[in-house]
Structure 1
Amino acid sequence: MTSIGVLCFLRLLDVPEYSFSLDEEGVCRTAFELIFAFDEVISLGHKENVTVAQVKQYCEMESHEEKLHKLVLQSKINETKDVMKRKASEIDKSKVKIQHVAIALQIERNRGEKGGFMSLQSMGSGRMDTGFGSDTNLSSLGGSGSGFGASTDVDSFSTKSKGRPVASATGPPKGLGMQLGKTQRTNQFLESLKAEGEVIVEDVRPSIGPSKPAAPPPTDPVTLTVEEKINVTLKRDGGISNFNVQGTLSLQILNQEDGLIQVQIETSGNPAIHFNTHPNINKELFSNENILGLKEPSRPFPANQSGDGVSLLRWRMQSADESILPLTINCWPSVSGNETYVNIEYETPAQTDLQNVVIFVPLPALREAPRIQQIDGEWRYDSRNSVLEWSIVLIDNSNRSGSLEFIVPAADPDVFFPISARFTASRTFSDLKVANILPLKGGSPPKFSQRTLLATENYQVV
């Protein structure tokens, strides 16, 4: 039918409102609407007695076929999104595997280059610098010395890495040929991955235990690090089974000329905290004036120490008081029919802000992720370990408490325990602060900075 015929037909039906203008351009623009109107007006080639209002009503009515088409289209979109998520997860897993390979490569390189604890200079000379101006013979490392480097407190003041056997200075380590072969094959594998465009991180160090935010390299002449690790075991019905806090104060000096100093500190004065100084620290000076200085003031603190530096002070705290807990977690699983409803709540005291909070909830073996009914924060389902990860980036005065509710198939309430948590905080239980740096050689004190961190080592609800 030509546009003129359509126009005549429209005037005959008295429905010109379906076209903005009764010309050829207007009819072409609203062709589909006109076809639908024709379908309602004409039946089997005959005109029906319908009004304009009835035609409008019929055109606006819902169509079952249209609904079905939209549902099928939305279903395809959802399936595509799921496929994209699975592909992204596979890509992340492949990157993790690549990083593991890079870690193994770095470990092999470290073993081949460093040869154990000793530096290249100590391997050649057979002597080791203690960091206090006195050399210690390698054969006397097991004995007791007077300096920090030769002290028996290896954990605090030794600059050697832990967990590696001491390599011989006269020959290569055992199995070096096998290590070199593995390294060569790993290098070839990494090169092929680089050629395909993958980003290889070769300097990643393996970490054990809960994640700890990497501290930036020190820029000030003197850096003091206050770190506390908390171990807590809570009962699901209330009460504390174990509460233990261990803290350290570490000193890191960039230049040796800034080593002739003393450190004055301030603490909260909590009688439940027991402080222990290093054997080379003047205990009487610390007890009377809260000043950390060497027994021999003429000797400087060591400089250019790896990691957080040398540990000057340690402390420990134990308690059964629930009011001092930085994070309280309550879990309420209840079975109803073929489903289990799980409600979890967290709460923090008003004076404590927590960062990077992750609560791990074990689940029964599921084919699909649990149904999340309500959550304050973000969630992720680890299908491999069957664990629900509840993440809150920051807990402060705006969200001192929060809740999570999800539904899984019927399961024993004991399945959801133990619940573990991981977080960090900038406020410690000791509230230890560095008040001042006292130079022993006179002049102005060197510029210093303080880092404070509270991190979880083990935090569970059993």
Structure 2
Amino acid sequence: MVVLAASITTTSGKPLLSRQFKDLSKDRVMELLSNFQNLVSTISSDHTFVEDRHVRYVYKPFDEFYIILITNRQSNIIQDLATLNLFSQTINSFVTNCDEYEIYDNAFEILSSFDEIICMGYKENLNSTQVSTFLSMESHTEKIQEIIERNKEMEATEERKRRAKEIARKEQDRKNGIISPEGLMGESGSHFASSNDPNVRNAYNSYYGHSQAAAKAQSVYTNKEYTSNYAQYDTYKSNLGKPTNTMRGGNQSASGNISSTTSASTRFVLDGSKAQYFQFEDVKPENKGILLSVNETINASFNRDGSIQSSELKGVFEVRVNDSELADLLIKLDDSVNVKDRTFQFKSHPNIDKNQFLNEKLISLKDKTKNFPHNDQSLGVLRWRKVGKADDTSLVPIELSTWVTPNSSGDSFDVTIEFEINQDLQGVKVENLGFIIPVPTRSATINEDNNDFNATILEINDEVGIVIKIGSPLESNQTGSVSLTVPGDMEDALFPIDACFTIKDCSISGINVDSVTKRDNTTETYTYDLIRNITTDEYNIM
């Protein structure tokens, strides 16, 4: 058989789509379709083909349209009808309402399916399932390349953040009169003035010893100023990396850090890590036999207007067993968990039966003769990761935005940070919410007129900046803000603003446990405890 063209027309003769598989001009195809309309109007509706002097039309009506194959007269009519039936099946997979607009909207897919079925006028040995598979074929190489590009973008973003923080720190040091080693080496006068080498100092003083009185006065002033700054830098450098002691009810003035009053019942770990300013000391939860943990970490970057630059979710499912009689367990995940969702990139431990996990949502050991470790240590059995698209809020528990307004004096800014719980999260409570503004100023103040959530300045630290703690937890669908006045003359020095928080009894991925049973007897269930937490790693406003 030789198929010259495949077309879709209306019953009134209006051509909608046509694909030519031989050397036919558009005018010739239009002429053939016009002849078909004249021929089909004079024959019985029971026929499925019609012929003229040169070609044969094999057609099939559906609703108000015709699917037409134009073949030569010597073509095998049986094969033509089978080909027409395959065309009809593929078109039905793209068109549901059978109107002209839907056919036009899916024209590219329909014509692509025509090309899969017919090659150079001859039918390929395919069925409708294979045609659908070929049309939806995805490139594994392209996916790998997209993942590599995303990783490069994330690495570049992290490097840009690091450099921006370094530039902001140097700028703040310059404003505070702290001279960096580069600055000391860059200015020969200050370098020599602050040098402890007696030969250098004697040569420096002897030069000004024969100068005029004004030059001598300048020499004394310069020598004192830079010697003082150099000593200040040495003090600052010696304090870097040391833990900051938090004093209850008082201020810490020895190193220039200010610590606000902290409740006696609150124990924060102040070791330079931003996240630990808002999270309590890690206490190992009690294990009554079987303890299951779902721990998820969120990374997200927001623009200042609230739009999302990037978002990423990482999660791990851990098992802790402290009794050998409970080690032969079988974990059944909840039916709502879609383990075949490729966007989450689920990856099971090598010792876990992967086929059983994907097909039955069961977590069990691959070697059925062995049991889970029962040394009361956490064992990660499942990991997952998902990268959100731009402006995708599905991975973002709290949406952030900022408003920065310069004061009339020109030496400070009014900064308002808005936060809102994602509407898709119902029944959650956000705890330990806080923000860090990378400006180590000593005169930042909270605007009490816009302080519905009891925000306080926990500390102003030279290493990280202004640490703000939100005192009240956030409930579902709540919106809040915190406003403060920050001294400064450059808006970009206020960013990036980092955020930290924790959410308990919740999972973005929806991972949940249905039951825990004995491996060899699934009717015998085990009692277990389940902990689900969401924390942050890099969650900021750029």
TM interval, shorter chain, is 0.5 to 0.7
Q: CA deviation at 1:238?
A: 4.0
SS of equivalent to 1:286: helix
2:392 is matched with: 322
Q: Match of 2:533?
A: 453
Distance, in Å, in 1 between the alignment partners of 2:501 and 2:525 is 35
Cα 1:459–1:87 shift into 2, 3 Å: closer
* Structure 1 residues 263 and 209, CA gap change in structure 2 (3 angstroms): farther
Which runs of 5 or more residues in structure 1 are unaligned?
Answer: 1-84, 95-200
Query: How far off its partner does 1:406 sit?
Result: 2.4
TM-score using structure 1 length: 0.52
The equivalent position to 2:509 in structure 1, one of 419, 430, 436, is 430
Q: Could you say what secondary structure the match of 1:302 adopts?
A: coil
> What is the Cα deviation at residue 219 of structure 1?
3.4
Question: 3-state DSSP class of the match of 1:459?
Answer: strand
Matches within 5 A, 1:44-83: none
Instruction: Name the amino acid aligned to 2:491.
Output: P
Q: Which secondary structure state, in structure 1, belongs to the residue aligned with residue 285 of structure 2? A: coil
Number of residue pairs matched by the alignment: 267
Q: Distance in 2 between matches of 1:409 and 1:417?
A: 14
Give the structure 2 partner of residue 357 of structure 1. Answer: 433
What's the offset of the Cα at 1:243?
Answer: 1.1
Q: Is the 8 A contact 2:301 2:311 kept in 1?
A: yes
Given that 1:335 and 1:410 are in contact with CA atoms closer than 8 Å, whether structure 2 keeps it comes out as: no
Alignment of 1:421 onto 2:489? no
**Residue from 415, 433, 440 that aligns with 1:342:** 415
Change (3 A) 1:296 1:345: same
Equivalent positions of 1:174-323 (< 5 A) are: 210-211=275-276, 213=280, 214-266=282-334, 267-269=336-338, 271-306=342-377, 309-320=378-389, 321-323=391-393
Residues 1:89 and 2:250 aligned together: yes
Residues 390 and 235 from structure 1, CA distance in 2 versus in 1: closer, same or farther, beyond 3 angstroms?
A: same
Q: Distance in 1 between matches of 2:442 and 2:510?
A: 47
Matches within 5 A, 1:157-168: none
Output the amino acid matched with 1:423. F
For the Cα contact (< 8 Å) 2:446–2:456, is it kept in 1? no
**d(CA) in 1 for partners of 2:271, 2:408:** 46
Give the CA deviation at 1:437. Answer: 1.1
Q: Paired residue for 2:441?
A: 366
What secondary structure does 1:88 align onto?
A: coil
Deviation at 1:383, TM superposition (A): 3.0
Contact 2:300 2:310 in 1 (8 A): yes
* CA distance in 2: counterparts of 1:87 and 1:256, whole angstroms: 46
**CA shift in 2, pair 1:230/1:408, >3 Å:** closer
Give the SS at the match of 2:401. Answer: strand
Q: Secondary structure at the match of 2:369?
A: coil
What is the aligned partner in structure 1 of residue 519 from structure 2? 440
Q: Distance in 2 between matches of 1:388 and 1:245?
A: 25
Return the alpha-carbon distance in structure 2 between the equivalents of residues 431 and 327 of structure 1. 17
Name the CA shift for 1:375/1:260 in 2 (closer, same or farther; >3 Å). same
> What SS class does the counterpart of residue 346 from structure 2 fall into?
strand
Amino acid at match of 1:348: I
The one-letter code sitting in structure 2 at the alignment partner of 1:315 is W
Q: Percent identity?
A: 23
- CA offsets, 1:96-152, max 9 Å, x none? xxxxxxxxxxxxxxxxxxxxxxxxxxxxxxxxxxxxxxxxxxxxxxxxxxxxxxxxx
Asked if the contact 1:358/1:422 (under 8 Å) is kept, the reply is yes
Distance in structure 2 (CA, Å) of the matches to 1:331 and 1:86: 31
Deviation at 1:305, TM superposition (A): 3.5
What is the distance in 1 between the residues matched to 2:274 and 2:364? 33
- Give the conservation status (yes or no) of the 8 Å contact 2:348–2:382: yes
Please report how far the alpha carbon of residue 335 of structure 1 lies from its aligned counterpart in structure 2 after TM superposition.
1.5
> Does the C-alpha gap of structure 1 residues 91 and 414 become closer, same or farther in structure 2, counting only changes over 3 Å?
closer
Match of 1:98 in 2: none
Q: Which amino acid aligns with 2:509?
A: S
Aligned-pair CA distance for 1:379: 1.2
Residues 89, 304 of structure 1: alpha-carbon distance in 2 compared, 3 angstrom cutoff? farther
**Does structure 1 conserve the Cα–Cα contact (< 8 Å) formed by 2:432 and 2:469?**
no
